[in-house]
Amino acid sequence: MCGLITFVSNNRGAASQRDVIAQALETMHHRGPDETGVEVVGSDVVFAHKRLSIIDVASSHEPLPYAEGRYLLIFNGEIYNYIELRKQLMQEYGARFDTEGDGEVIVAGYHYMGPAILDRLRGMFAFVIWDAKERVAFAARDPFGIKPLHYVSTNDGVYFSSEKKALLPFAPAARAGDAGLDHANLSHYLTLQYVPEPGTLHQGVQRLGSGEWLTFRPGAGEFATGRYYRPVFSPRPVPQPEVLYRRIRETLRDSVRMHMRADVPVGAFLSSGIDSTAVVALAREFNPNILTFTVGFDVPGYSEIDVAQESARHLGVTTIPTKIGPQDMMDALPKIVWHLDDPVADPALVPLYYVAKKAAEHVTVVLSGEGADEFFGGYTIYREPLSLSAVTGLPEVAQKGLRSLARVIPEGVKGRSFLERGTTRLEDRYYGNARMFSEEEKQKLLRRYDPSVRYTDVTYPIYAEAAGLDDVTMMQYVDLYTWLRGDILVKADRMSMAHSLELRVPFLDREVFDVAATIPVELKLPPRSTETKFAMRRALEGVVPPAIVNRKKLGFPTPTRVWLRGEMYDWAHHIMATSGAGDLLDLNYARQLLDAHKREEADHSRKVWTVLIFCIWHAIFIARTLDPGVQRAQSALLTKPVVGSMVS
């Protein structure tokens, strides 16, 4: 089941919300076209769901009852160790089960263990449990934030949903136009290219954080959140590297095996890099006929299709390619932004959207390689602390002199950036993989620039948790809580779900992390090498094709730099002119960047793209002048306003 709305009433008025919730649910039909339901539970709760049937297809209907109806569960995601958990609960507690699905182990585990069941769940999930006896709602989200859970707290009660758009009818700020926009998060978006959790661009709509739980007691209005999981890196010396490499390989193999559990066809994405190739190579051990899917462009240097096809031939699997052009990108962007809910200015969204569309024609589930870079040290920027060590290791007085020298070196001259970054604390220079607009540039772009809003508002608390780690591992920790869950997993979830396709990420597994967390820096990033993910690459020798083991990461590159100078230039001007975002952004400044980019005076493509995605978002969700062209569902339940009564 992959789309949920739950309302917990503060004043026993659940039934009055049934019809409007049913309408809101239809905005998420893409998340679960196989089954639709809306249930009113006494006067307290409304459960609404859209199910994509993956496991126990004929049963496991939601909301799922347990303990003679005391508990009701609504659940998005998959629990991969549900078979093992079922046996454990039966042996330890005498638990009984009425289904063959994975959802029942969550609610049964909660009955016997309370919130402690969260530590036993191996999977991706967002769920809400209603305990009718104690009259309390309990919600939780998976450790790494793979599956989303939004909520709105009002005087009437608390609303939960898999997607923000379904909550907008219940969020007063959403009806206030620009006045309901969160300007601090707009500023963060322009820096980071995504809106950082837990907020959104709509005031009053929040996201439950990765590895967090939430409880709400209606009537009393008791509302609380907490964290049950925090990834702890503990790098340590490795006397026998081969032992570590074998452990990495076998843990990944086991994770892939678990992630292939399904009662429907499972495929995989395949790019030119080691992450997706490793997943495919391990998956074919369990299904030699697994279908794979790749995407590319007819622009030199921007297509991974040829390499992916060569890897597929080496592994003996079939890959189905998709090619897209500039018109495909322009046609899809309004739909993409609508599915995102909040803007994410990552151009890789577009190829991901199209490869997911192609995959959905053949399979219901795909495996993908997200998370490997954050776990194993895969980003080139992670080498920066090593390259800057000649400066960062100097006494403060020497660094102060070099900092002064950097100021007199002209902008763009080689050496200035090196000295600036080398004499700046990691906490002040690193805030993730994406660096869009500087504070000086945002002063020109934002109509309401607030100098008190800085990216450090997002990152400083994370750095505080990572105190004591080496700089490289600290960067990994920051990315787990910023880049991974703000960009990587948002685009993975939304672009796959847009086509009713479930995307699974075997690298983002607690047992895989437990291994990766022990790797010392020298086995992630060898000091006299340009290689990244060294230990993981050594572990996968003999598993992936030799040409891929040391191949540089690309990750669905997109030719926006080329197309914004050509085929997409007029379109970009039109988007800015018709977005209605001129009261928030100085679009004349943005047009100057676009025109300078066209004249090849500088590469402003990422900055321009960041503005364009926000303009499309504004036109859809604020000005409401742009129809994204998404086909809206109208399920039969909307014409049958029958209120179900279950547990009172």
Give the DSSP per-residue string, 388-407: THHHHTS-HHHHHHHHHHHH
Instruction: Map residue 204 onto helix, strand or coil.
Output: coil
Retrieve residue 71's tokens: 């508990």
Which string of b and e fits 24-52 if b means at least 16 CB within 10 Å?
Answer: bbbbbbbbbbebbbbbbbbebbbbbbbbb
Q: Which CATH architecture has domain 241-378+480-549?
A: 3-Layer(aba) Sandwich (3.40)
In this structure, the strands spanning 222-227 and 365-367 are: unpaired
- Please state the domain extents for the chain: 3-229, 241-378+480-549, 383-432, 560-621
Active site residue 615: no
Distances (CA, A) of 46 to 3, 307, 369: 14, 50, 36
Contact indicator for 4, 160 with CB cutoff of 8 Å: yes
Which of 1, 2, 290, 622 is labelled catalytic? 2
Q: What is the pLDDT of residue 634?
A: 65
Q: Give the helix/strand (H/E) hosting 311.
A: helix 305-315
Count CA within 13 A, CB hemisphere, residue 159: 28
User: What residues pair up with 227 in beta bridges, in sequence order?
Assistant: 212
Tell whether domain 3-229 is in CATH 3.30.70.141.
Answer: no
Q: What is the pLDDT of residue 633?
A: 67
327: amino acid identity, one letter? Q
Q: Is 603 left (phi over 0), alpha (psi -120 to 50) or beta?
A: beta
Q: In what order do the strands lie in the sheet with 266-269?
A: 318-324, 291-297, 266-269, 365-367, 502-504
Q: What is the pLDDT of residue 637?
A: 56
Q: What is the pLDDT of residue 645?
A: 38
Q: What is the pLDDT of residue 635?
A: 66
Q: What is the pLDDT of residue 646?
A: 39
Retrieve residue 52's tokens: 């994509």
Residues in CB range of 551: below 8 A, 6 or more apart: 272, 273, 274, 307
* pTM for this entry: 0.95
Q: What is the pLDDT of residue 585?
A: 98
Tokens 């960041």, residue? 610
Q: What is the pLDDT of residue 85?
A: 98
| Closest residue by Cα to residue 308 from 334, 339, 338, 269 | 269
DSSP assignment letter at 437: -
Please give the angle made by the CA atoms of 348, 352 and 355, to the nearest 5 degrees. Answer: 145
459: amino acid identity, one letter? T
Residues in CB range of 545: below 8 A, 6 or more apart: 277, 281, 310, 311, 314, 315
Digit-coded pLDDT (tens) for 502-532: 999 999 999 999 999 999 999 999 988 889 9
Ranges of residues in the chain whose predicted pLDDT is under 50:
639-648
Retrieve residue 60's tokens: 């496991």
